[in-house]
Amino acid sequence: MIPTLEWTEDGVRLLDQTRLPLEETYILASDYQQVADGIRNMIVRGAPAIGVTAAMGVALGVKQSEATDVAALKPEFEHICRVLAATRPTAVNLFWAIERMSKRFSALAAQPGITVETIRTSLIVEARQMYEEDIAACRAMGAHGASLLPNEGGVLTHCNAGALATCGYGTALGVIRGAVEQGHNIQVYADETRPFLQGARLTAWELMHDGIPTTVICDNMAASLMRRGKIKAVVVGADRIAANGDVANKIGTYGVAILAREHGIPFFVAAPWSTIDLETATGEDIPIEERPASEVTHHAGKQLTPNNVGVENPAFDVTPARYVTAIITEKGVLRAPYSESLQELESVVSGD
Ligand code: MRU
């Protein structure tokens, strides 16, 4: 399996996704600020991967703290969490992971006589546990979602919701992997995903690595392929799913969902429970990250647009729940009305 991120004694090792597919290089984020930079600069990206990387960043920050007692460690811990939380606003997995580390810290800090050393060790264990849980969740999504995909034919995906966006196996690509493992004969169509090209660079790279037949298309080709009957299903990931089932995902996902509806093609969203945000009522309330204009005006250092032209670069959009055929999670497959099915699953999860 492709090691997207990894805890090491010296820091968090990240596969540099900005250099793929031409170079397979790793960087070592050797303090929590470097971990934050790695997330902000998209060395590591994809909602679940961002979350676990941030948890490891928290553990690394505490490991390197010079605090000798819990009272001194607490404000430092809170500062580390704030720095990591300020990296990217849309993927709720980031905040979920930091919150989980904070709860663990508070529970440990409340134990009478606990040492800073024990807290350090326990936070590393917690972050590594989240890494393992993420891979298990992806595999479970693959098992739950596989039968939803066609036995034969084209499946379109947008952005990269694969092993590279998680700790391994992937969410949307996990469902595709699950179907392929069950013998489905699938041809993946990967939207190139302007402007960062996660589809052309990352999805194509990782699927070819696994020998899964993959064709890259420009974002503006999907409608034509659907019309010609080449796409039998769409499966994408998510950065945040609101309580009513609205889905924030990579910019362009909304357009794909509308096209799928127009052509009578099922549109599936695969996401772990850590991507569900029941505190956020609808997609309207999801913060959408604006990325630098240079991602649109330039490619590989080459200017594409005239000087001073106006540019918009929202990194995500929101697909209204009514376009979503099903949400595939590690706990099972949810159907509309999502405000009810998500709430029902929440009761089960909180009783786990
Ligand atoms: O900006 P990115 O590359 O972090 O955006 C990633 C996506 O939009 C993915 O589809 C989403 O995080 C799901 S990843 C399993």
Residues 71 and 150 in one domain: no
Residues 207 and 119 in one domain: no
Spacing, Cα 266 to ligand 1 middle (Å): 20
Residues 73-110: tens digit of each pLDDT: 999 999 999 999 999 999 999 999 999 999 999 999 99
Sign of torsion, CA 34 36 37 42? positive
Residues 87 and 173 in one domain: no
Q: How many domains does the chain have?
A: 2
Are 173 and 157 spatial neighbours (Cβ–Cβ below 8 Å)? Answer: yes
For ligand 1, whether the C-beta of 171 sits within 6 Å is yes
Residues 229 and 330 in one domain: yes
Average pLDDT of the residues in 256-274: 98
Q: Is the pLDDT of residue 323 over 70?
A: yes
Are 202 and 21 spatial neighbours (Cβ–Cβ below 8 Å)? Answer: yes
Better-scored residue on pLDDT, 130 or 2: 130
For ligand 1, whether the C-beta of 46 sits within 6 Å is yes
**pTM for the predicted model, two decimal places:** 0.97
Distance CA 57, CA 32 (A): 5
Summary mean pLDDT of the chain: 97
Distance CA 78, CA 322 (A): 39
User: In 10 A of CB 301, how many CB atoms?
Assistant: 6
Residues 189 and 87 in one domain: no
Only one residue has tokens 């590594």, namely 128
For ligand 1, whether the C-beta of 54 sits within 6 Å is no
Residue whose CB lies within 8 A of the most ligand 1 atoms, among 14, 239, 273, for a mutation test: 239
Q: Is the pLDDT of residue 270 over 90?
A: yes
Distance CA 206, CA 210 (A): 7
Of the candidates 140, 159, 187, which is a domain's last residue? 140
User: What residues are annotated to the active site?
Assistant: 239
Spacing, Cα 42 to ligand 1 middle (Å): 10
For ligand 1, whether the C-beta of 163 sits within 6 Å is no
- Phi and psi at 303, nearest 5°, equal -75, 135
Helix-strand-coil split of the chain, %, nearest 5: 45, 20, 35
Distance CA 246, CA 226 (A): 23
In CATH, what number is assigned to the domain containing residue 254? 3.40.50.10470
Measured from the Cα of 166, ligand 1's closest atom is 15
Residues 28-43: tens digit of each pLDDT: 999 999 999 999 999 9
Residues 2-29: tens digit of each pLDDT: 799 999 999 999 999 999 999 999 999 9
For ligand 1, whether the C-beta of 47 sits within 6 Å is yes
pLDDT number for residue 2: 79
Residues 176-210: tens digit of each pLDDT: 999 999 999 999 999 999 999 999 999 999 999 99
Q: Is the pLDDT of residue 352 over 70?
A: no
For ligand 1, whether the C-beta of 193 sits within 6 Å is no
Question: Three-state DSSP class for 88?
Answer: coil
Residues 97 and 244 in one domain: no
Residues 133 and 204 in one domain: no
Spacing, Cα 150 to ligand 1 middle (Å): 24
Average pLDDT of the residues in 141-159: 98
Average pLDDT of the residues in 244-258: 98
Residues 326 and 241 in one domain: yes
CA 86 to chain centre: 17
Are 91 and 240 spatial neighbours (Cβ–Cβ below 8 Å)? Answer: yes
Q: Is the peptide bond before 112 cis (omega within 30 degrees of 0)?
A: no
Strands 267-270 and 316-319: unpaired
Residues 169 and 254 in one domain: yes
Measured from the Cα of 172, ligand 1's closest atom is 15
Distance CA 86, CA 94 (A): 10
For ligand 1, whether the C-beta of 58 sits within 6 Å is no
Residues 136 and 147 in one domain: no
Residues 167 and 188 in one domain: yes
Of how many residues is the chain composed? 352
Of the candidates 107, 140, 173, which is a domain's last residue? 140
For ligand 1, whether the C-beta of 142 sits within 6 Å is no
In CATH, what number is assigned to the domain containing residue 34? 1.20.120.420
Of the candidates 100, 117, 140, which is a domain's last residue? 140
Q: Which of 197, 143, 148, 209 is nearest to 174 (CA)?
A: 143
Domain that holds residue 80: 5-140
Spacing, Cα 65 to ligand 1 middle (Å): 31
- Phi and psi at 251, nearest 5°, equal -50, 130
Q: Is the pLDDT of residue 215 over 90?
A: yes
Measured from the Cα of 237, ligand 1's closest atom is 13
- Please state, in angstroms and as integers, the Cα–Cα distance from residue 33 to each residue in 17, 39, 186, following that order: 18, 10, 41
Spacing, Cα 162 to ligand 1 middle (Å): 9
Residue whose CB lies within 8 A of the most ligand 1 atoms, among 160, 235, 251, 296, for a mutation test: 160
Residues 128 and 209 in one domain: no
pLDDT number for residue 175: 98
